Amino acid sequence: MKKVFIPLMIIFALTFSANAQHKMGKKGHRQNHQKEMMAKQLNFSDEQKAKAKTINEDFRKKMQELNKQDNITVKEMRSRKAAIQKEKKTKMEGLLTAEQKMKVQQMKAEQKTKREEGYTKRMEKMKSNLSLSEEQVAKLKSQRTATQAKAEEIKSNEALSPEQKKEKMMALKAEAKEQHQKILTPEQIKKKEEMKKMHDGRGKIQVSKK
Protein backbone atom coordinates (compact mmCIF):
# COMPACT_ATOMS: atom_id res chain seq x y z
CA MET A 1 0.00 0.00 0.00
CA LYS A 2 1.34 3.39 -0.98
CA LYS A 3 2.26 5.55 1.99
CA VAL A 4 0.33 8.80 2.10
CA PHE A 5 2.38 11.83 3.14
CA ILE A 6 0.42 14.22 5.31
CA PRO A 7 1.64 17.84 5.10
CA LEU A 8 2.64 19.47 8.37
CA MET A 9 -0.04 22.13 7.88
CA ILE A 10 -2.69 19.43 8.17
CA ILE A 11 -1.06 18.09 11.32
CA PHE A 12 -1.00 21.60 12.76
CA ALA A 13 -4.65 21.99 11.81
CA LEU A 14 -5.56 18.88 13.77
CA THR A 15 -3.52 20.10 16.72
CA PHE A 16 -5.03 23.56 16.55
CA SER A 17 -8.60 22.26 16.46
CA ALA A 18 -8.02 20.54 19.79
CA ASN A 19 -6.70 23.61 21.64
CA ALA A 20 -7.96 27.03 22.62
CA GLN A 21 -6.92 30.10 20.61
CA HIS A 22 -4.49 32.64 22.07
CA LYS A 23 -4.08 36.34 21.35
CA MET A 24 -1.65 37.05 18.52
CA GLY A 25 -0.95 39.37 15.56
CA LYS A 26 -2.64 39.52 12.17
CA LYS A 27 -0.32 36.91 10.67
CA GLY A 28 -1.10 34.49 13.48
CA HIS A 29 -4.85 35.01 13.08
CA ARG A 30 -4.60 34.42 9.33
CA GLN A 31 -2.65 31.19 9.85
CA ASN A 32 -5.11 30.02 12.49
CA HIS A 33 -8.02 30.76 10.15
CA GLN A 34 -6.39 28.54 7.51
CA LYS A 35 -5.90 25.76 10.06
CA GLU A 36 -9.52 26.05 11.20
CA MET A 37 -10.68 25.78 7.59
CA MET A 38 -8.56 22.65 7.08
CA ALA A 39 -9.92 21.08 10.26
CA LYS A 40 -13.45 21.85 9.10
CA GLN A 41 -12.81 20.41 5.63
CA LEU A 42 -11.45 17.19 7.12
CA ASN A 43 -14.45 16.98 9.45
CA PHE A 44 -12.56 15.98 12.61
CA SER A 45 -14.58 14.01 15.14
CA ASP A 46 -14.72 14.85 18.85
CA GLU A 47 -12.66 11.71 19.52
CA GLN A 48 -9.95 12.86 17.10
CA LYS A 49 -9.87 16.29 18.72
CA ALA A 50 -9.54 14.77 22.19
CA LYS A 51 -6.74 12.44 21.10
CA ALA A 52 -4.98 15.30 19.31
CA LYS A 53 -5.14 17.39 22.48
CA THR A 54 -3.55 14.56 24.49
CA ILE A 55 -0.79 14.11 21.88
CA ASN A 56 -0.12 17.83 21.83
CA GLU A 57 0.06 18.08 25.62
CA ASP A 58 2.45 15.11 25.75
CA PHE A 59 4.60 16.77 23.07
CA ARG A 60 4.74 20.05 25.00
CA LYS A 61 5.68 18.24 28.21
CA LYS A 62 8.51 16.33 26.54
CA MET A 63 9.86 19.48 24.89
CA GLN A 64 9.77 21.39 28.18
CA GLU A 65 11.65 18.60 29.94
CA LEU A 66 14.21 18.47 27.15
CA ASN A 67 14.78 22.23 27.25
CA LYS A 68 15.62 21.97 30.95
CA GLN A 69 18.58 19.72 30.18
CA ASP A 70 21.68 21.90 29.94
CA ASN A 71 24.23 19.09 30.04
CA ILE A 72 23.84 17.91 26.46
CA THR A 73 25.42 19.19 23.25
CA VAL A 74 23.59 21.31 20.67
CA LYS A 75 23.76 18.42 18.21
CA GLU A 76 22.18 16.01 20.68
CA MET A 77 19.52 18.59 21.59
CA ARG A 78 18.57 18.95 17.94
CA SER A 79 18.51 15.19 17.49
CA ARG A 80 16.20 14.66 20.47
CA LYS A 81 13.90 17.49 19.42
CA ALA A 82 13.65 16.03 15.93
CA ALA A 83 12.78 12.61 17.41
CA ILE A 84 10.03 14.10 19.60
CA GLN A 85 8.60 16.12 16.71
CA LYS A 86 8.68 13.07 14.45
CA GLU A 87 6.87 11.02 17.10
CA LYS A 88 4.16 13.67 17.37
CA LYS A 89 3.77 13.88 13.59
CA THR A 90 3.44 10.09 13.30
CA LYS A 91 0.80 9.98 16.05
CA MET A 92 -1.15 12.83 14.47
CA GLU A 93 -1.07 11.15 11.06
CA GLY A 94 -2.34 7.96 12.70
CA LEU A 95 -5.50 9.77 13.80
CA LEU A 96 -6.67 10.41 10.24
CA THR A 97 -9.08 8.03 8.57
CA ALA A 98 -8.58 6.68 5.04
CA GLU A 99 -11.22 9.13 3.79
CA GLN A 100 -9.47 12.07 5.47
CA LYS A 101 -6.13 11.03 3.96
CA MET A 102 -7.76 10.97 0.52
CA LYS A 103 -9.17 14.43 1.23
CA VAL A 104 -5.69 15.65 2.14
CA GLN A 105 -4.35 14.40 -1.20
CA GLN A 106 -7.18 16.19 -2.97
CA MET A 107 -6.46 19.42 -1.06
CA LYS A 108 -2.76 19.14 -1.95
CA ALA A 109 -3.62 18.75 -5.65
CA GLU A 110 -5.97 21.75 -5.54
CA GLN A 111 -3.38 23.89 -3.76
CA LYS A 112 -0.74 22.92 -6.32
CA THR A 113 -3.06 23.87 -9.18
CA LYS A 114 -3.76 27.25 -7.60
CA ARG A 115 -0.04 27.88 -7.06
CA GLU A 116 0.74 27.05 -10.69
CA GLU A 117 -2.06 29.29 -11.94
CA GLY A 118 -0.82 32.12 -9.71
CA TYR A 119 2.76 31.65 -10.90
CA THR A 120 1.67 31.73 -14.56
CA LYS A 121 -0.18 35.02 -14.02
CA ARG A 122 2.77 36.57 -12.17
CA MET A 123 5.20 35.45 -14.86
CA GLU A 124 3.05 36.93 -17.62
CA LYS A 125 2.83 40.20 -15.69
CA MET A 126 6.59 40.24 -15.09
CA LYS A 127 7.25 39.45 -18.74
CA SER A 128 5.14 42.43 -19.78
CA ASN A 129 6.35 44.92 -17.15
CA LEU A 130 10.06 44.09 -17.48
CA SER A 131 10.03 43.29 -21.21
CA LEU A 132 11.52 39.84 -20.62
CA SER A 133 12.78 37.86 -23.59
CA GLU A 134 11.56 34.32 -24.27
CA GLU A 135 15.02 33.08 -23.29
CA GLN A 136 14.80 34.85 -19.92
CA VAL A 137 11.32 33.44 -19.28
CA ALA A 138 12.56 29.93 -20.05
CA LYS A 139 15.54 30.34 -17.70
CA LEU A 140 13.35 31.68 -14.87
CA LYS A 141 10.95 28.75 -15.22
CA SER A 142 13.83 26.26 -15.30
CA GLN A 143 15.35 27.84 -12.20
CA ARG A 144 12.02 27.62 -10.37
CA THR A 145 11.67 23.93 -11.21
CA ALA A 146 15.19 23.21 -9.93
CA THR A 147 14.57 25.19 -6.74
CA GLN A 148 11.31 23.33 -6.08
CA ALA A 149 13.09 19.99 -6.49
CA LYS A 150 15.78 21.02 -3.98
CA ALA A 151 13.10 22.24 -1.55
CA GLU A 152 11.30 18.88 -1.71
CA GLU A 153 14.58 17.08 -0.98
CA ILE A 154 15.09 19.22 2.11
CA LYS A 155 11.51 18.71 3.34
CA SER A 156 11.63 14.94 2.88
CA ASN A 157 15.07 14.49 4.50
CA GLU A 158 14.25 12.77 7.79
CA ALA A 159 17.89 13.10 8.92
CA LEU A 160 17.46 16.88 9.28
CA SER A 161 15.91 18.54 12.31
CA PRO A 162 13.21 21.23 11.79
CA GLU A 163 15.80 23.90 12.63
CA GLN A 164 18.25 22.49 10.06
CA LYS A 165 15.50 22.30 7.45
CA LYS A 166 14.62 25.94 8.13
CA GLU A 167 18.26 27.00 7.76
CA LYS A 168 18.65 25.09 4.49
CA MET A 169 15.39 26.49 3.13
CA MET A 170 16.53 30.04 3.92
CA ALA A 171 19.86 29.38 2.20
CA LEU A 172 18.02 27.93 -0.80
CA LYS A 173 15.80 31.01 -0.97
CA ALA A 174 18.86 33.30 -0.96
CA GLU A 175 20.51 31.16 -3.65
CA ALA A 176 17.39 31.29 -5.82
CA LYS A 177 17.21 35.07 -5.48
CA GLU A 178 20.85 35.40 -6.52
CA GLN A 179 20.30 33.19 -9.59
CA HIS A 180 17.15 35.14 -10.40
CA GLN A 181 19.12 38.40 -10.40
CA LYS A 182 21.71 36.93 -12.80
CA ILE A 183 19.02 36.22 -15.39
CA LEU A 184 17.76 39.82 -15.40
CA THR A 185 19.61 42.81 -16.83
CA PRO A 186 20.67 45.71 -14.54
CA GLU A 187 17.87 47.84 -16.04
CA GLN A 188 15.27 45.15 -15.37
CA ILE A 189 16.48 44.70 -11.78
CA LYS A 190 16.26 48.46 -11.21
CA LYS A 191 12.75 48.62 -12.65
CA LYS A 192 11.66 45.62 -10.59
CA GLU A 193 12.91 47.26 -7.38
CA GLU A 194 11.11 50.49 -8.26
CA MET A 195 7.88 48.58 -8.86
CA LYS A 196 8.28 46.77 -5.53
CA LYS A 197 8.76 50.07 -3.68
CA MET A 198 5.64 51.50 -5.33
CA HIS A 199 3.65 48.40 -4.40
CA ASP A 200 4.88 48.48 -0.79
CA GLY A 201 4.14 52.19 -0.58
CA ARG A 202 0.49 51.69 -1.56
CA GLY A 203 0.06 49.32 1.35
CA LYS A 204 1.19 51.86 3.96
CA ILE A 205 -1.21 54.22 5.68
CA GLN A 206 0.03 57.77 5.94
CA VAL A 207 -0.80 59.40 9.29
CA SER A 208 -0.76 63.18 9.28
CA LYS A 209 0.33 65.00 12.41
CA LYS A 210 -1.50 68.13 13.45
Domains held by the chain: number: 1
Assess if residue 182 is contained within a domain.
no
pLDDT, averaged across the chain: 82
Give the range of the structural domain holding residue 47, as residue numbers without chain letter: 1-122
Instruction: Give the model confidence (pLDDT) of 64-92 as tens digits.
Output: 999 998 888 988 888 888 889 889 989 99
When comparing pLDDT for 11 and 170, which is higher?
Answer: 170
In a domain, 3, yes or no: yes
Is 99 part of a structural domain of the chain?
yes
**Is 162 a domain residue?**
no
pLDDT at residue 208 above 50?
Answer: no
Question: Is 130 contained in some domain?
Answer: no
The DSSP-derived string for the chain is: -PPPPPPHHHHHHHHHHTS------HHHHHHHHHHHHHHHHHT--HHHHHHHHHHHHHHHHHHHHHHT--SS-HHHHHHHHHHHHHHHHHHHHHHS-HHHHHHHHHHHHHHHHHHHHHHHHHHHHHHHHHT--HHHHHHHHHHHHHHHHHHHHHHH-TTS-HHHHHHHHHHHHHHHHHHHHHHS-HHHHHHHHHHHHHHHHHTSPP----
Q: Could you tell me if residue 186 is inside a domain? A: no
Question: 118 in a domain, yes or no?
Answer: yes
pTM reported for the whole predicted model: 0.65
Q: Considering the domain boundaries, does residue 29 fall inside one?
A: yes
